[in-house]
């Protein structure tokens, strides 16, 4: 619970542009990943997820392990976005 509280407190201290970027990319990834949408919109969802992970990977670069994990997940998301394109 303490880790979640720390993340929320840290998120609230971020600049407005970063908050908007994170919220928009997260909502885009969640909404467009629905199976009723076509492959191109699901690809856009994976691209939004990659942007989300890259932005947090850059933000958390003081922790090399967490940053590396975020970049690897972003790379997987980019690969999946590219492979879903028609």
pLDDT at 54: 95
Question: pTM, whole model, 2 decimals?
Answer: 0.84
Q: ∠71-81-46 over CA atoms, to 5°? A: 65
Domain boundaries, the chain: 2-84
Evaluate if residue 85 carries a pLDDT over 80: no
Asked if 78 and 47 count as a contact pair (C-beta separation under 8 A), the reply is yes
Angstrom CA distances, 10 to 28, 38, 53, 67, stand at: 22, 36, 16, 16
Over residues 24-83, the pLDDT tens digits come to 999 999 998 887 777 788 889 999 999 999 999 998 889 899 999 999 999 999 999 898
Residue 17 has pLDDT above 90, yes or no: yes
What pLDDT score does 46 carry?
A: 92
Q: Which residue has the tokens 């885009």?
A: 28
Distance of CA 26 to the CA centre of its chain: 6
Spatial contact of 55 and 21, defined as CB atoms under 8 Å apart: yes
């Amino acid at each position: 619970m303490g880790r979640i509280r720390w993340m929320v407190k840290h998120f609230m201290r971020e600049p407005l542009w970063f908050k908007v970027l994170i919220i928009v990319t997260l909502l885009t990834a969640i909404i467009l990943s629905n199976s009723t949408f076509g492959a191109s919109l699901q690809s856009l969802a994976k691209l939004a997820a990659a942007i989300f992970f890259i932005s947090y990977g850059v933000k958390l670069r003081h922790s090399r392990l967490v940053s590396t994990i975020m970049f690897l997940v972003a790379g997987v998301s980019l690969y999946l976005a590219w492979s879903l394109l028609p």
